[in-house]
Structure 1
Amino acid sequence: MEASQCKGSLSTRASSSSFRLRCPSLNSLRLRRVFDIFDKNHDGILTVQEIHQALSRLGLETDLCHLHSTIKAFINPGDTGLTYHGFVSLHQSLDRTFFGLDLEEEEEDESDLTEAFKVFDEDGDGFISAQELQAVLGKLGMAEGKEIGRVEQMICSVDQNHDGRVDFFEFKHMMQSVVVRSS
């Protein structure tokens, strides 16, 4: 079964195209970083189990069978999982599948930003605290999540009203400045 036939197994709806990484150099760097974070044993191969665990830690529950059927076409014969090249090919295929149609971008952008914000706002109070950010970074296995001082610096760099937390509007502003939009 090809990835395009299983798109519903990874997402209930197509995500906003604003989250596509349209700058090739940024895309490559970010994809490499994601690959390395997901590759828990650092063997250069992403197994279906590693991908499943990473998605679960992000709160994106997937069916292991559907996930395997989605990515198996990108696994080289004889390999136990995705190489970085296969991971890039999978990303490109999912990008075409989910972002091929031009949807009502403004509404979709806002909805996707809200969902992304909720991943970090674990207690649902409308703010991302340093502790919540640290918890999410820790779940992702990122080194930045091990030191609260570094996490607090990250919060301060986005915290426009200096209240020590990130609200949705600060998060949205930060995301809009990070996302490279095409004209």
Structure 2
Amino acid sequence: MSTLSYNDVYRLFKKLDQNGDGLVSPHELQWLLDTMKVSSSVDELQFLTEKTSLTFPEFLEFYDNITKEGDHNESDSDLFKAFEVFDKNRDGFISNEELEEALSRLGLWDHNGNMDVKSMIKAYDANSDGLLDFHEFKKMMA
């Protein structure tokens, strides 16, 4: 099985979260497997996930475990929680506005105009889309 990028897994999670509650249930996972013509039961999926529903970090860990090629670990889970502080609208990306707002909330924003969030994002924005995804954020935080 080929591994998906972090953003692809995030989009998959959002697609699976059919009711928009921020959790993927075994029923929602079963929908994916049914689409892929893989037979499974809700009970099997609940046993595999060891939960009744998965948050995105848990889904990411589940995906990594089933692909056995994941590069995420416990520190990534903690870093993802920090990423969520910045990603206020939960779209999987940090915009200029979100970065400035988070830095202000944390008391790290220079209100004298000596900081430029666009330059900060640009320095780590590998795909030049003007946003930071989790992997870019991870590099920024390293």
Shared fold per TM-score greater than 0.5: no
* Structure with higher RCO (Cα < 8 A, 6+ apart): 1
TM-score range for the pair, normalised by the shorter chain length: 0.3 to 0.5
